[in-house]
Structure 1
Amino acid sequence: MRLRILLATATATLAAAGCLTAAGPASARPDDTGARPDHACSPSVSIDRFSDALDKATYDGTYVGNLSALAVDRDGSLAALSDRSALFRLDARTLRPEGVTPLADERGAPLDSEGLTVDRDGTALVSSETEPAVRRHARDGSILDRLPVPEELRTRARANGTFEGLTLLPGGRTLLAAMEYPLAGDPADRVRFQTWRRTAHGGFRLGGQYTYRIDPGLGVSEVTATPDGRLLVLERGFTPGVGNTVRLYLADRHGTAYAKTLLADLADCPSLSATARQPQPNPLLDNIEGMAITGRGRGRLKVLLVSDDNQNENQTTRFYALRVRP
């Protein structure tokens, strides 16, 4: 078969409303008004279900893991970015891979690809944290453009801690990239968000920079713009012997800084009978890096998360379907 999937937990039929397989008990199904009260992570966030269906899977000889970003394509499919230079197309209802496109830099070398957003013309904007850089890729993976990056973000950045998140703001005229960790010389609790403004010819020029305050020991693993122009921000950290900390914030810009409000600490979500291969404060948790808004209704956003398993037997590629009331 072209697709070989080794299940890490039991899987069931995909529910289109949540774009995920129910991998917990039957009660994990949401009703028509949202997730049941016992699925609440906080007053603002509930979890519908999770899926390990793609854990340790391969597609056309490519490992379907190391997933660091998600985006909704213009045809309704999901784009899932691997930080090992592969861009997958997934069926939004079943999560089944339907295509894979290899990515590379201008010299043909692999990318440490971390952030993804799909532009209105179907091209993919991809951030790489090694340079750092943001490139525009055609559907065949070829490079169409490389965006300018301020020198201080290249020379003062912490190794492996640059452009971890990428999103287009509503209207598509502003692109925003989130640094994962502070620059050398910056306050230890402040990271920078870099923006670009779309030009009349469809390219992007440098825009303003903004600051965002991170929690102690955490970094920004993803940002996603909400329909009203605010940001959902994932902060993530890892403590050996304890596990992952993953918190979801809503961020609103005030001048040159983004102020944040905690929506949920995902350790407070019900576990839905999930299992973990290493210590975790909640067995549901893993190394969550990707996030996309897949729909909205009844005052809630449908938010899909994915964890990066680092191609490690002790970690899991896991999708999470949340309902968020911002």
Structure 2
Amino acid sequence: MRLRTVLATATAGLAAATCLTAAGPATAVSTGTTNSRTSNACSSAVSIDRFSDALDKTTYDGTFVGNFSALALDRDGSLAALEDRSSLFDLNAKTLQPKRVVHLADENGADLDSEGLVVDLPHARTDSRGGTPTATLLITSETEPSIRRYSRDGRILDRLPVPSSLLVAPAGRASSNLTFEGLTLLPGGRTLLASMEGPIAGDTSGAVRFQTWTRTKGDHFRLAAQYAYKPDASFLGVPEVQALPDGRLLVLERGFTSGVGNTVRLYLADPRHATDTSGIDHLTGRPGVRLIKKTLLADIADCPSLGATAKQPQPNPLLDNIEGMVITGREKGAYKVLLVSDDNQNAVQTTRFYYLRVRTTPAFRSSEARG
């Protein structure tokens, strides 16, 4: 998303609790030793190994490399990196160097405000020779919003239904640039989840909607349950969400304060006991509605800067407009998580990749809104 400047004060605190009941230029590298990882701690649950600005303000095959809004791990181990200006890159997972770029468009040939990405490998689909299942791409656009299925060469294969309330006004109750940002498949590949970045009109609780779909025969998706998630503050939205093997979610919250910089926090969230809000028109503090429970894993501002520099004021020079996230593996009890910032093709922002290690069983207390 091309993040809008939010005129908030530097002392903006948490949003009021609701009555809902919560149920390359530069690369910094650590030495990789235990002591080094400890010194690179952002919190007791998260550490940062390194960052890379190698792709900042570069081009590939005539296309600007940046504006990244989503990452996904491809079947061959490479990285799929989605730009919010309708381009999809294949990146070498080790060097980050682009290997291929594909232009995306809607049914009328218009560019997308492409934000969320899933590489889908359903068991039911085979290639034309009856061999290995063919991976396709599920991609959101914030414009309508929409989710389309694309072939690897950018052809539209399918389009998913979207609840009318989540459409951008006047068709629905969503605000432009605050719709589907995050996209992930839950364990087993049967359920798709998309996160709205901001609340829809009438949801005065400040909660955002997480919409799900269930896979049907023929690898289509039908609308399923919907859940409510409460960001920390009124100026924070949800740019990305990634599913863990146990059904919990990693959720990014992000905001921007003019003259101060970005706020980026990583949460562990559990939707498994949350209320299905698909039949609830307005989230306005109704008793008995259970929000998705969330636990703060780390505020990225608390990470060591590792020598990073910022082109505009930031609470930590490591920070930028972080928008994409993917789980790339697991090692020694921690998930390896890669983040990327969206530089908006702006001279004072940076395309930066962040290599984190995330432990999801910290002895933290869940953040729950109670009324």
Q: TM-score, normalised by structure 1?
A: 0.91
For residues 186 and 34 of structure 1, the distance between their equivalents in structure 2, rounded to whole angstroms, comes to 46
Question: Which residue is equivalent to 1:265?
Answer: 299
Q: Which amino acid aligns with 2:32?
A: P
The structure whose residues are more often strand, as a share, is 1
The CA RMSD measured in Å over matched residues stands at 1.1
Contact 1:71–1:116 at 8 Å: present in 2 too? yes
Contact 2:274–2:293 at 8 Å: present in 1 too? no
Moved segments of 4+, more than 6 Å: none
Equivalent runs, 1:1-326 vs 2, <5 Å:
7=24, 9-10=25-26, 23-24=27-28, 28-31=30-33, 36-120=37-121, 121-154=134-167, 155-216=172-233, 217-253=235-271, 254-256=273-275, 257-326=291-360
Q: Please report how far the alpha carbon of residue 34 of structure 1 lies from its aligned counterpart in structure 2 after TM superposition.
A: 8.9
Structure 2, unaligned runs of 5 or more: 1-23, 122-133, 276-290, 361-371
Q: Please report how far the alpha carbon of residue 188 of structure 1 lies from its aligned counterpart in structure 2 after TM superposition.
A: 4.2
For residues 36 and 252 of structure 2, the distance between their equivalents in structure 1, rounded to whole angstroms, comes to 21
For residues 322 and 175 of structure 2, the distance between their equivalents in structure 1, rounded to whole angstroms, comes to 20
For residues 206 and 239 of structure 1, the distance between their equivalents in structure 2, rounded to whole angstroms, comes to 35
For residues 311 and 66 of structure 1, the distance between their equivalents in structure 2, rounded to whole angstroms, comes to 6
Q: Which amino acid aligns with 1:212?
A: Y
For residues 193 and 36 of structure 1, the distance between their equivalents in structure 2, rounded to whole angstroms, comes to 34
Q: Please report how far the alpha carbon of residue 35 of structure 1 lies from its aligned counterpart in structure 2 after TM superposition.
A: 5.6
Q: Which amino acid aligns with 1:29?
A: T
Q: TM-score, normalised by structure 2?
A: 0.80
Contact 2:228–2:274 at 8 Å: present in 1 too? no
Aligned length: 304
Deviations 1:88-117 (A, max 9, x none): 000111111000010000000000000001
Contact 2:186–2:243 at 8 Å: present in 1 too? yes
Question: Which residue is equivalent to 1:13?
Answer: none
Deviations 1:56-83 (A, max 9, x none): 0100000010000000011111000000
Q: Please report how far the alpha carbon of residue 29 of structure 1 lies from its aligned counterpart in structure 2 after TM superposition.
A: 2.8
Secondary structure at the counterpart of residue 201 of structure 1: helix
Question: Which residue is equivalent to 2:125?
Answer: none
Question: Which residue is equivalent to 1:18?
Answer: none
Q: Please report how far the alpha carbon of residue 170 of structure 1 lies from its aligned counterpart in structure 2 after TM superposition.
A: 1.1
For residues 81 and 314 of structure 1, the distance between their equivalents in structure 2, rounded to whole angstroms, comes to 21
* Worse-superposed segment, 185-194 or 142-151: 185-194
Contact 1:40–1:270 at 8 Å: present in 2 too? yes
For residues 92 and 103 of structure 1, the distance between their equivalents in structure 2, rounded to whole angstroms, comes to 22
Q: Which amino acid aligns with 2:47?
A: S
Contact 1:249–1:261 at 8 Å: present in 2 too? yes
Secondary structure at the counterpart of residue 219 of structure 2: coil
Q: Which amino acid aligns with 1:324?
A: V
Contact 1:65–1:317 at 8 Å: present in 2 too? yes
Question: Which residue is equivalent to 2:280?
Answer: none
Contact 1:189–1:213 at 8 Å: present in 2 too? yes
For residues 359 and 111 of structure 2, the distance between their equivalents in structure 1, rounded to whole angstroms, comes to 38
Q: Which amino acid aligns with 1:222?
A: E
Q: Please report how far the alpha carbon of residue 187 of structure 1 lies from its aligned counterpart in structure 2 after TM superposition.
A: 2.5
For residues 34 and 208 of structure 1, the distance between their equivalents in structure 2, rounded to whole angstroms, comes to 44
For residues 79 and 230 of structure 1, the distance between their equivalents in structure 2, rounded to whole angstroms, comes to 23
For residues 140 and 200 of structure 2, the distance between their equivalents in structure 1, rounded to whole angstroms, comes to 17
Identity percentage of aligned residues:
70
Contact 1:45–1:264 at 8 Å: present in 2 too? yes
Contact 2:66–2:344 at 8 Å: present in 1 too? yes
For residues 129 and 308 of structure 1, the distance between their equivalents in structure 2, rounded to whole angstroms, comes to 15
Secondary structure at the counterpart of residue 292 of structure 2: strand
For residues 100 and 210 of structure 1, the distance between their equivalents in structure 2, rounded to whole angstroms, comes to 35
For residues 217 and 164 of structure 2, the distance between their equivalents in structure 1, rounded to whole angstroms, comes to 25
Deviations 1:14-67 (A, max 9, x none): xxxxxxxxx22x6x2323x69621100000000000000000010000001000
Secondary structure at the counterpart of residue 72 of structure 2: strand
Contact 1:35–1:323 at 8 Å: present in 2 too? no
Q: Please report how far the alpha carbon of residue 206 of structure 1 lies from its aligned counterpart in structure 2 after TM superposition.
A: 0.6
Higher RCO, Cα 8 Å, sep 6+: 2
Contact 1:176–1:194 at 8 Å: present in 2 too? yes
Q: Please report how far the alpha carbon of residue 227 of structure 1 lies from its aligned counterpart in structure 2 after TM superposition.
A: 1.6
Contact 1:35–1:46 at 8 Å: present in 2 too? no
Q: Please report how far the alpha carbon of residue 130 of structure 1 lies from its aligned counterpart in structure 2 after TM superposition.
A: 0.8
